[in-house]
Amino acid sequence: MNITSVSILLQTAAALQLAVALLNIFLVPLLKWKEDLARAPLLLREVFQVHAWFISVTLAIFGLITWRFAGELAAHANAIAVWLAAGIGIFWGIRTVLQVTYYSTSHWRGQFGRTMIHIFLLFGYGGMAAIYLWAAFGTSS
């Protein structure tokens, strides 16, 4: 795969990360979790909200840096480009594994729409892991 192709894939991953960062901010109303969170202890609510924001900030940083430096990441321009791509790839790789191993199948099994979302997320997270890990360790021409 050539540097231009990897760069385009990285920019696609960057756009997806920015979309996930934005979506994550609205997760509570989208999934109708307001009442559930209201019943949770105050500390749990606060930790949940802080983590949700920081995940969004982290993904936005990943997305913006990737968008700006996609060419450098794809070309292995320097050690930090390789390390950054590897780190983000590992981040998404772990998230992919958790999608399969941690979440209970009771959340989606037997429900077509939720099953499709589960599969979409699995391929989305796995795809981003693959793109970043290819950028870090693959050979580009």
pLDDT in tens, 7-34: 999 999 999 999 999 999 999 998 899 9
| The pTM of the whole model exceeds 0.75 | yes
Asked whether the predicted pLDDT for residue 140 surpasses 70, the reply is: no
Asked whether the predicted pLDDT for residue 141 surpasses 80, the reply is: no
Q: How far apart are CA 130 and CA 21, in angstroms?
A: 19
Asked whether the predicted pLDDT for residue 92 surpasses 90, the reply is: yes
Q: Are 122 and 99 in contact (CB under 8 A)?
A: yes
Mean pLDDT of the chain: 95
The answer for 34, left when phi > 0, alpha when psi is -120 to 50, beta otherwise, is: alpha
